[in-house]
Structure 1
Amino acid sequence: MNATTLLTFLLITGTIGVISWYQTRKERLNTIVGFFLANRNLGFIAVGSGLLFANINTVLFVGENELVYANNMSVIGWGMTSVAAMLIVSEFIMPIYLRTGIATTPDYLERRYDSSVKRIVSLIFLVNYIVNLLPSVLYGGAVAFNGLFHFSDHYGISYWSSIWILVWIMGTVGGLYCLLGGLRAIAVSDVLLGAAMFTGGILLPWFGLRYLGHGNISEGLAVILSSKTEHMRVMGGPKDSVPFSTLFTGMLLVNLYYWGTEQYIVQQVLGSRNLAVCQKGIALACFGKILSPLLINIPGLIAVHMYSSLHNTAEVFPRMVSDVSPPVFVGYMAAILFGATFTTYNAGLNSASTLFILNVYKPWLEKQQRMADDRQLLRVAKRFELSICLLAMFIAPFIIFAKGGFYNYLQMVGGFFSVPIFTILLVGFLTRRVPPLAAKVGLAFFILSYGFTQTVFPTGLHFLHVLAILFVITCVIMLVIGRIYPLPVPYVPVVSNVVDVAPWKGRHVWTVALLAMMVGVYVLFTLASRA
């Protein structure tokens, strides 16, 4: 283990931690709004950075670079369709959330349907966080750190043991950070990590190309452009990890769910000062997603020309960083990975406790005719966070046995939770008489049908196409139920503005510019692969 690398990592990580503490030391974190929503006082840079780093974590660093190395650049579709999805969410969904003054996305479902739908969706979210999101983030972080610092080799322990140890170290530290700082501390560290990530995004490809070209960047670029160009394909075929056709079916639906419904993502935005700040923050996050391939895809492309084969392809990103970079930069990248892991992990913990306290525990107390003040609720919230921390740390190491690639596995499992929730939300947005029964039947049908197609009776279709087909069928079922058993009184949205909801005037210009950049990424790589 290189001492310079370790010292650089500790210095940068410690500096970010100290600055985050200093900036939040006077924040009121003894209230629900203060701890969970940062007192609804986040600026657009904090909102955009929070969105970006709640999404960009070691799962992407490890998983997408692995798919580029093993397959091709078609995995870039997840990030690029995110841009279109975020812009749709910014224009149509976030104004609804901020006008209604909700604290969690299931709050809207309660107002549109009923409290039982809210509880069901809240429990689905919690199961997703406990078995999918939190363990995957810890596992990805453990894989990355073992690859960067070579713990298993340095200490002479098995790879399996090193993953267990690293998962528990990161889970413990991340849990403590979230418990002490709340959403505000997460947002401050996100801003600092955002600046560090863009610097790393420029330097890492530079080091990689220089390594390929034996000190000459242009020669390294020539190596990529002249051989193994099939790995540069962004328009995946039917047998690729991400077929191009899925961008317009299930992938768009998953991203609309993710950016417009997923609690740990939406919670970054609900802390905005107003709608204009919210929309500016989303635009900033879109720009970050357009630049993110520099770190989550290009290293895997460079690694194709460095390693003829790897026993564990999940280690391609950390191994490439370690092999091409000077020790100081390896420590710098380790600090970014460490921060990115904690950002998503802590956002997930914070949102899980928000859902549990506001949508499960507090309604249960009220049903028992018992009252609790904010201090008592926060005490229970922190105990709940500790409990799911422990569960996630126990589950995370077993992801090593996932088949079909780490990232594809996570997206496939996420399908059980994502599109079903988005489906009932969308029908709720677009109709006024569809009853709660339709939402419950829709959720049950979608989840059971998807599970059946992925386990008992495989269809042969890509799971994203299956999600799109089930989305259409579920919408039809809900509309039919709405026609047979309509609500006696049509739903009327209740406006409860807790912040200013005047939209950002310049949003349309930036929307066009961001969409043009998104298309430009596809054009650039398509031309390069054919050069």
Structure 2
Amino acid sequence: MNVTGFLCFLLFLGLVAVIAIYKTRKMRLNTTAAYFMGNRTLGFWMVGFSLFLTNMSCNTLIGENEFVYTNDMSVMAWGMSSVLAMLIVAEFFLPIYLRMGAVTTPDFLGQRFGPRLKKIVSLFFLASYVVSLIPTVLYGSAVALNGIFHVDEVLGISYFAAIWLLVIAVGIIGCCYTVLGGFRAITVSDLVQGAALLVGGILLLVFGLRYLGQGSVLQGVQTILASKKEHLNAIGSAHDPIPFSTIFTGMFLINLYYWGMEQYIMQQALAAKSLSQGQKGISLAALGKVIAPLLLNVPGLIAVHLYPTLTNTATVFPKLIGDVLPPVITGFIAAVVFGSAISTFNAGLNSSGTLFIMNLYKQWRSRAGDRELVKAARIFQLSITLVAMCFSPFISRFDGGFYYYIQKMSSFFSVPVFTVMIVGFMTKKVSETAATIGLLFFIVTYMLSQLVLDLPLHYLHVLGILFITTVALMLIVARWKPMATPYVQPNTAVVDLKPWRSRHLFFLLLLVLMAGAFILFSEAGIAKQ
């Protein structure tokens, strides 16, 4: 283990913790509004950096770089195409949530369709976080930290044991942040960590290219551009793991769901002090997604040339950090990677508590006061942390790779919920019965398509087909049994709903940058053979 790097790692983590404690020292966490939403006081900087860092977890850092190493840049499509989804969310979805004063995204379903569907979807969210989100964050951070500091070698234990040990350490630290500091402490640390992530990404890129170019950054760039150019292509063919055509089907639906309906993501925007600040924050996060390939994908390209025969491809990103960076910067990057993991973990844990307390526990204990609700939330968060700690190390045994596991598991929960939500947004007479039938139909048929049937279609295309089929089914059922009274959304906003004036110009710039990135990493750009 590099002692200097490890000390720098601890120093930066301590600095972030001190800043978070100092900035939240006067804030009391004895109300649900303070504990879950930071009293809705977030400006656009906090919203933007929290969204960016929550999305930029160890899962993504490790998974996407591993994908580039083993395949090509087509994985970039997930992040780059999400820019369009984020702009749609800022323009259309966020105003709907803020107008009704939503605390959770299923609140809309409760108001639009009824309490039964709200509870069902809240349970789906919680199941997704316990099975997919929180365990993968713990596992990804453990893989990264072990790859950087070689904990298994230092302690003389097996790789699996080291992963388990690190999972426990990350889980304890992250849980302390959430349970003791609440939502505001999370967002303050996200602001610091987000800025550090951008600096760290640039440093890793520069040092990585210089290492590849034997002292010359320019030579490193030329090496990447001169050989193994098949890895540079972001336009996946029909036979690639991520065909480019999936951008227009299931991938687009998942991105819309993720940025506009996923509780642990939307909670950052729902805590904005106004609609304008929320829209600016989402746009700032979208700008981060445009430049994210520098950290998410280019290190994988560098690793293609440095490590032609890696056996454990999940170690691509942490191995590169340990090999190319000076000790002090290694510790800094390790702390940033750890911080991104903690950010996503905290967001998932905080959102799990919000969903459980506000949508389930509060319905059961209708007379419970804020103190009881906050206490129950902390107990629940501790419980699911323990469950995730026990489960996450076994992700290493999953056949198909870490990133494949993440996307595959999340798709079981995401698009079915998205389908019901979007129909609720777009129609006024579709009833709770139609929505419930549609939700169950989607889940059952998708599970059959992936676990029982052997379809000659990419799973993202299957999601697109099922989306259209389920919407049609819900509309048919609604014709047979519509709502007695068409839905009209009441205005119960608790923040200013005036939109950001300059948003459309900024949105256009982001879309141009998104298209430019796809052209750059294609056969029309630098991937030309």
TM over 0.5, shorter chain: yes
Counterpart position of 2:402: 406
Output the CA distance in 2 between the equivalents of 1:75 and 1:403.
Answer: 19
Q: For residue 173 of structure 1, report the CA deviation from its aligned partner.
A: 1.1
Please list the CA deviations of residues 159-185 of structure 1 after superposition, one character each: whole Å capped at 9, or x if unmatched: 111111110111111111110111101
> Is the CA contact (8 Å cut-off) linking 1:106 and 1:121 kept in structure 2?
yes
Task: Find 1:514's aligned residue among 490, 510, 516.
Answer: 510
Alpha-carbon shift at residue 239 of structure 1 (Å): 2.0
Alignment of 1:59-74 (within 5 A): 59-74=59-74
Query: Could you list the per-position Cα deviations for residues 295-341 of structure 1 after superposition, in whole angstroms to 9, with x for gaps in the alignment?
Result: 11110010000011111100000001111111111101100011001
Q: Which residue of 1 aligns with 2:204?
A: 204
Between the aligned partners of 2:71 and 2:255, the Cα distance in structure 1 is: 22
Give the Cα–Cα distance (whole angstroms) in 1 for the partners of residues 67 and 25 of structure 2: 42
**Counterpart position of 2:417:** 421
- Determine the C-alpha separation between the residues in 1 that align with 2:260 and 2:91: 11
The answer as to whether partners of 1:53 and 1:194 remain within 8 angstroms in 2 is: yes
Look up the SS of the partner of 1:492 in the other structure: coil
Please name the residue that 1:528 is paired with.
Answer: 526
Residues 277-286 or 487-496, more deviating: 487-496
Residue identity over aligned pairs, in percent, reads: 53
**Partner residue in 2 for 1:127:** 127
1:182 aligns with 2:178: no
CA distance in 1, matches of 2:417, 2:154: 45
Deviation (angstroms), 1:482: 0.5
CA deviations on 1:434-489 (whole Å, 9 max, x unpaired) are 11011111111111111111111021211111111110000000000000101111
DSSP-derived class of the 1:17 partner:
helix
Q: Which of 446, 450, 465 lines up with 2:446 in the alignment?
A: 450
Contact persistence 2:183–2:350 (CA under 8 A): yes
Aligned to 1:475: 471
- Superposition pairs for residues 178-327 of structure 1, below 5 Å? 178-327=178-327
Give the whole-Å Cα distance in 1 for the aligned partners of 2:527 and 2:270.
41
Contact kept, 8 Å, 1:55 with 1:344, in 2: the verdict is: yes
Letter in 1 for 2:59: V
> Matched residues in 2 for 1:503 and 1:360: separation?
32
- Structure 1 unpaired stretches of 5+: none
Give the whole-Å Cα distance in 1 for the aligned partners of 2:441 and 2:339: 39
Q: Secondary structure in 2 aligned to 1:529? A: coil
Counterpart CA distance in 2 for 1:396 and 1:506 is: 44
1-side partners of 2:217 and 2:341: how far apart?
30
- Give the C-alpha shift of residue 54 in structure 1: 1.2
Letter in 2 for 1:428: G
- Deviation per CA, 1:135-156, whole angstroms, max 9, x where unpaired? 0000000000010000111111
User: In 1, distance between residues paired with 2:248 and 2:215?
Assistant: 42
Instruction: Give the structure 2 partner of residue 142 of structure 1.
Output: 142
Q: TM-score, normalised by structure 1?
A: 0.98
| 2:501 aligns with one of 500, 505, 513 | 505
Q: 1:460 maps to what in 2?
A: 456
- Tell me, yes or no, if structure 1 residue 394 matches structure 2 residue 390: yes
Matched, 1:336 2:336: yes
Q: Distance in 2 between matches of 1:308 and 1:427?
A: 48
Offset of residue 53 of structure 1: 1.1
Q: Decide whether the 8 Å contact of 1:67 with 1:241 is kept in 2.
A: no
Aligned length: 527
Alpha-carbon shift at residue 88 of structure 1 (Å): 0.3
| Distance in 2 between residues matched to 1:523 and 1:429, nearest whole Å | 34
CA deviations over 1:375-415 (Å, ceiling 9, x no partner) = 01100000000000001111100110112221122111111
Q: Which amino acid aligns with 1:443?
A: L
Determine the C-alpha separation between the residues in 2 that align with 1:442 and 1:282.
30
Distance in structure 2 (CA, Å) of the matches to 1:401 and 1:309: 21
1:272 counterpart SS class: coil
Q: What residue number does 1:487 align with?
A: 483
Distance of 1:256 and 1:229 partners within structure 2: 31
The answer to whether the 8 A contact 2:137-2:344 is kept is yes
Q: CA deviation at 1:350?
A: 0.4
Deviation for aligned residue 1:77: 0.5
* Unaligned runs of at least 5 residues, structure 2: none
Counterpart of 1:219 in 2: which secondary structure? helix
Consecutive aligned runs of 4 or more in structure 1 exceeding 6 Å deviation: none
Q: Tell me the secondary structure at the aligned position of residue 123 of structure 1.
A: helix
In 1, Cα distance between the equivalents of 2:109 and 2:329? 46
Retained in 2: the 8 A contact 1:416–1:451? yes
Q: Which residue of 2 aligns with 1:376?
A: 372
Contact 2:259 2:265 in 1 (8 A): yes
Q: Is the Cα contact below 8 Å between 2:321 and 2:330 reproduced in 1?
A: yes
Match status 1:4 vs 2:4: yes
Greater CA drift, 21-30 or 122-131: 21-30
Q: Distance in 2 between matches of 1:73 and 1:314?
A: 16
- Secondary structure of the 1:101 match is coil
Aligned counterparts of 2:197 and 2:235: Cα–Cα separation in 1: 27
Quote how far apart the aligned CAs of 1:242 are.
1.2
Conserved? CA contact 2:69–2:301, under 8 Å: yes
**Partner amino acid, structure 1, of 2:106:** P
3-state SS, counterpart of residue 456 of structure 2 = coil
Give yes or no for contact 2:235–2:521 (8 Å, CA) kept in 1. no
Looking at structure 1, the residues matched to 346 and 240 of structure 2 have their Cα atoms a distance apart, in angstroms, of 33
SS at 2:486's partner residue?
A: coil
CA contact (8 A) 1:87 1:282 kept: yes
Once the 2 structures are TM-superposed, how far is the Cα of residue 28 of structure 1 from its aligned partner? 2.5
**Is 1:193–1:340's contact at 8 Å kept on the other side of the alignment?**
yes
Give me the whole-angstrom Cα distance separating, in 1, the residues matched to 2:365 and 2:199.
49
Q: Give me the whole-angstrom Cα distance separating, in 2, the residues matched to 1:43 and 1:434.
A: 36
1:518 is matched by which residue type in structure 2?
M
Task: Give, as a single letter, the amino acid of the residue that structure 1 aligns with 2:380.
Answer: F
Tell me which of 428, 432, 435 is aligned to 1:436.
Answer: 432
Q: Distance in 2 between matches of 1:469 and 1:107?
A: 27
Distance 2:411 2:201 in 1: 30
What is the distance in 1 between the residues matched to 2:241 and 2:292?
19
1:357 aligns with 2:353: no
Instruction: State the alpha-carbon separation in 2 of the partners of residues 25 and 292 from structure 1.
Output: 33
Whole-Å separation in 1 of the counterparts to 2:203 and 2:240 = 29
Say whether the 8 Å CA contact 2:50–2:190 is kept in structure 1: yes
Does structure 1 conserve the Cα–Cα contact (< 8 Å) formed by 2:132 and 2:410? Answer: yes
| 1:16-75 Cα deviation digits (max 9, x unpaired) | 010011001111211110110000000000000111111111000100000000000000
- Any idea what SS the aligned residue of 2:308 has? coil
Equivalent residue letter for 1:190: D
Separation (CA, whole Å) in 2 of partners of 1:404 and 1:47: 34
Q: Deviations over 1:234-285 (max 9, x none)?
A: 0001222211000111001000000000000010011100000000000100
Q: Matched residues in 2 for 1:488 and 1:466: separation?
A: 34
Aligned equivalents of 2:502 and 2:178: distance in 1?
Answer: 35
Tell me the SS of whatever aligns to 1:235.
coil
Question: What is the Cα deviation at residue 220 of structure 1?
Answer: 1.0
